[in-house]
Amino acid sequence: MKQSSTAPKLSREGLTLPKTDFSLRSWQLPAVLAFICCIIISVYQYYSPGYSDLLMTAVIFPVSVAVFALTLYTRPYIKYAEVKVLGAFFLWMILVIFLNDWRLEKAFSNTWFYCTCITMFLCFTLPYAFDKETLKKALSILAVAMLACATLLSAAGLIIVFGGITIPESVSEVARVGIYVDGRLWLVSHPNTIAPICGSAILLTGYLLTRTKKWFVRILLILSALVCYCAMALTDSRTGFMSTALGLALEFFLLFNLSFAKIKRAGGRVLLALAAAALCVGVFIVGMSAVRSVYDHTAGTTSAQSELISDRGLEEADSFNGRTAIWAGTLKGLKENPSILLTGTTPIIAGKLMGPYFPKNSPIGNFHNSYVASLVSFGIPGVLILIAFYVMLAVSSARLSFAKLLDKDSLGTRLIPAILLFAVAESMMEVFLFVEFSLNNVWIWFMFAAGFVFRMQKSE
């Protein structure tokens, strides 16, 4: 006589519930914790590259694969058009690896491959694992984690700079910390890396402010954003300034449009909101120079670090600090190697192949543009797939942000496309999206925000 088993059976119904939560028994909780680890890595990875890579490859990568598998099993994930397009890009990426080097172990020994898998399997997929209300709570948790990490980094930089702290010679010989000889703030990582960390934290503060009505919490959030703002000003990263300003322009417009809701004529309300947003963005940009001036007149003349903060003008704006020469050299390299346009090269060897065509003294293998780097890495087929994804994302973002301009309850949700604007703009001058070898904050937040935008327009 057979004995009936009392062990619980694992089923689709047992893994998905009408309402998701963060209980210890939910599989969504480890996914959120893994994303927080991604945030920590994106901010502090340069302080311990070996441990960061180990955590990424040995822990976060397996978790991201599990999150993808569970989402695929418990949600109608694969039926969505944007998922199919991103899946097509991933398959093309794998094919490009085989076309350029049949030894797949080279990919598995390269951090770029792990970064790509994590951003697709975890960062983009995570929003689909929640119902809409829980997704907003999850975003709040992740935004707080990002703001906390960025504030801690920024505060350390400001203390070093304005406190006149002299970095030990043993440290300064290995890494640049404080105001370097170029007059910009270095915190081991490059100023152009610090600025996006601060910028994304500032933009996420806007979302957090819509999620709380407690004045003490709001004041704390604003103070944290100001700390990040001051640190970003000292980096003198013009790309960081303008990218953040673009995101803030959208956030301010949506906020002021709601504030002027009593104006009956939609056209007048929109124009007034645009003018108010432009004014706030102008103050934001001018304030950057003011922060640098404060340093020049105080800490700059009294501290052991007597270097003045840089204030770069627009004399090299037409060439984007020599970036156009790099892009022109890349196009020349593609003309001489037209097969790359079909098969790509993978990011693993893209910089090495195009390096000889770069101008002298330019950074080795750094295209300073995610989209140019994507063309070399994945060829025209890969870029076309990415363009399709960007177009779908742009349409969805426009619908999300502007469909209900006077809906106060959805304001926080409608602010999220500002993160996408910020990420796209940053990636026009730096290599951040799809081809980078580090798990940078621009990439992870772009993918999460993209998933968020798509998910919020799906039925439950």
pLDDT in tens, 259-297: 888 887 888 888 998 999 999 999 999 998 888 888 777
Query: Which is more confident, 261 or 245?
Result: 245
Token pair of 201 as six digits: 């934290």
Cα-Cα-Cα-Cα torsion 423, 426, 431, 437, nearest 10 degrees, comes to -50
Contact (CB, 8 A) for 97 and 425: no
pLDDT of 306 over the 80 cut: no
Q: Which residues of 351-372 are buried (b: 16+ CB within 10 A; e: fewer)?
A: bebbbebbeeebeebebbbbbb
CA 116-117-119 angle, to 5 degrees, is: 65
Percent of the chain surpassing pLDDT 90: 46
The pLDDT score that the predictor gives to residue 366 is: 81
CA atoms of 156 and 279, how far apart (whole Å) = 31
The pTM score is 0.89
Token pair of 58 as six digits: 């040995």
Q: Identify the band that residue 5 occupies on the pLDDT scale cut at 50, 70 and 90.
A: very low
The pLDDT score that the predictor gives to residue 60 is: 94
The pLDDT score that the predictor gives to residue 313 is: 53
The pLDDT of 382-409, averaged and rounded, is 92
Query: Which is more confident, 17 or 200?
Result: 200
The pLDDT score that the predictor gives to residue 24 is: 64
Q: Identify the band that residue 142 occupies on the pLDDT scale cut at 50, 70 and 90.
A: very high
pLDDT of 172 over the 70 cut: no
pLDDT of 175 over the 80 cut: no
Phi, psi of 382 (to 5 degrees): -65, -40
Element (H, E) at 187: strand 185-187
The pLDDT score that the predictor gives to residue 187 is: 87
Phi, psi of 398 (to 5 degrees): -65, -40
pLDDT of 205 over the 80 cut: yes
Element (H, E) at 177: strand 177-179
Residues in the chain: 460
Query: 74-78, 100-104, 183-187, 191-195: lowest mean pLDDT where?
Result: 100-104
| Residue among 403, 391, 393, 416 at smallest CA distance from 132 | 416
The pLDDT score that the predictor gives to residue 141 is: 94
